[in-house]
Amino acid sequence: MNTDCVTVSTVVAVDPGTAFSVFTEDIAGWWKPKVHGLFQAGRTGTLQFREGRLWEIYGNSEPFEIGRVTAWEPGVRLAVEWRQEGFSTGDHTAVEVRFEPVARGTRVTVAHSGWDAVRPAARYGASGEAFLSLIGLRWADALTSLRHAAR
């Protein structure tokens, strides 16, 4: 059993291909984290998929590479390495997003794992259920924004 995985789902009122497109192509429009400086302290940019990677873009300055895309299956699945402020060089977690057709549209499920391998300082000194709940709430907030963007 993977004890360091957070899984969050929502249903969006569009087909899986459109849901995938909104998630990837429109991420700068719906990704509105309440935590600023998640990827670089004191900076907030917009997310963008390009060149097989996920980036946070800061206007004209150097972007921050969040991670490499490891799966790109439009309308089905997306997987990306995930690193943020405080991670050691080479450390990353894994995010997998699945798009499943359901009666009212598409169930979008995010599974974010690999936190046990990240040093405590990068987890804000937290661990266990409290930390996983924090990550789950952040993803739930992001998916709420996705649901509104995919109308």
- For residue 59, the domain's CATH number is 3.30.530.20
Check: CB of residue 119 under 8 Å from CB of residue 88. Answer: yes
pLDDT digits (tens, 9 = 90+) for 111-139: 999 988 887 767 766 777 888 888 898 89
> pTM score, two decimals?
0.91
Q: Which domain holds residue 30?
A: 6-149
Tell me how many domains the chain contains. Answer: 1
Tokens of 128: 């266990």
Sequence-ordered list of residues with C-beta below 8 angstroms from that of 16, at least 6 positions apart, any chain: 75, 76, 99, 100, 101, 106
Burial 113-144 (b: 16+ CB within 10 A, else e): bbbeebeeebbeeeeeeebbeebbebbeebbe
Whether residue 104 is contained in a domain is answered as yes
pLDDT digits (tens, 9 = 90+) for 35-44: 665 777 777 7
The mean per-residue pLDDT over the stretch 83-91 comes to: 84
